[in-house]
Amino acid sequence: MRWLWQSIEFQQPWFLLFILLAVPVFWLVGRAGGRVVFSSFRLLPARAASWRARLAWLPSAALALAVAGMAIALAGPRVQEGESQIRREGISIMMVVDTSPSMLALDLSEGDRERTRLEAVKEVFIQFVNGDSDLSGRRDDSIGIVSFAAYADTRCPLTLNHGSLTQIAADLEIVSDPTENRTALGDGLALALERLREAKTESRVAILLTDGVNNAGEVSPLSAADLAKTLGIKVYTIGAGTNGIAYARINDDLGRSFLEPMRVQIDEETLKAIAERTDGQYFRATDAEGLRAVYREIDRLERSEISEQKLAEYNEYYAHVLAIALILACVGWLLGATLFRRLPC
């Protein structure tokens, strides 16, 4: 109760001045009604005052309190319960991820846990979206996914439904058709830019991750970079994995599993040029911790703009006070008309 009185406030506090009317109401009601005038009290028999006489002030007090209560109700008593943010300006982010067979390499494995490059990328991307001990999460951002190998494909359009987004990310698989064993890096970026072109947010970002060299597609990577610059879209590029020889786990026709060396090459010069032309940044991730560090840095660089405008939420109590005032008015009127009724002059 002490807390309630300390935190209560009034929407129209000047109505509280009407509480002063309670004094004249008490006085006028107490003097109203019938009275029998005697020239001398000595003509009346001596006897103790009755309980009605002692409590004759109750109707006046009830009506005076009713006036005070109505004044308080008009002032609008309320208690602030909290604040709700009415505007948050998020970022639109398209993740552009390579799903060509070179992403089978195991050089981003961690400790004794063997995993392909794609599995490592998916895991860190989901942490980037949802947040963990190192990443704050992107709950206000619209995020989508484009995958590419020989062809580019929109896996998830820009969405705030991060539950569906992360499920789609978890289901990404490396292409199995041998004819798709190529890397259309420019087409993947161009498709992501087309999705970002439709975004309503001011800040739009593409994160392009690959472990290879562009060798397919109709759009060159640098042409896509020029388009991103024209659209005002920043591109962060990530070179994932080691250069040279990396090992991938292969299953033969008999179901036997073995490690097979594969030659991999990352076109770092092109990735750097894309980032430079779009005011982005190029990152190199040669192991699992390096990949997490890249996403931490992008998370730090690209933060949502949060409006400080707040909408206060209140519990309104004017109806409660008004109800009490009306009850007091009725009680005062009933008492004056029944138990404490006065005869007319």
Percent of the chain scoring above 70 in pLDDT: 83
Backbone angles phi, psi at 157, to 5 degrees: -70, 170
pTM above threshold 0.75: no
What pLDDT is stored for residue 345 in this prediction?
47
Q: Closest by alpha carbon to 225, among 241, 239, 208?
A: 208
Q: Compute the distance between CA of residue 94 and CA of residue 158 in angstroms, rounded to an integer.
A: 7
Q: Dihedral, CA atoms, 183, 260, 240, 185, nearest 10 degrees? A: 0
Query: Does residue 305 have a pLDDT over 70?
Result: no
**Rounded alpha-carbon distances, angstroms, from residue 134 to 124, 151, 288:** 11, 34, 14
Residue 326, Cβ neighbours under 10 Å: how many? 14
Domain 88-306 has CATH 3.40.50.620: no
What pLDDT is stored for residue 53 in this prediction?
66
pLDDT in tens, 135-157: 888 988 999 999 999 999 999 99
Average pLDDT of the segment spanning 184-213:
93
pLDDT in tens, 40-92: 556 556 555 566 666 777 778 878 888 888 888 888 888 877 665 556 678 89
What is the residue extent of each domain of the chain? 2-83+312-337, 88-306
**Rounded alpha-carbon distances, angstroms, from residue 35 to 58, 91, 306:** 17, 80, 72
Question: 193 with 129: CB under 8 angstroms?
Answer: no
What are the E-state strand segments in 151-289? 152-159, 204-210, 234-240, 244-251, 257-264, 281-285
Strand 204-210 to 152-159 pairing:
unpaired
Q: Could you identify the residue written with the tokens 């008015």?
A: 329
What pLDDT is stored for residue 308 in this prediction?
52
pLDDT in tens, 84-103: 555 667 889 999 999 999 89
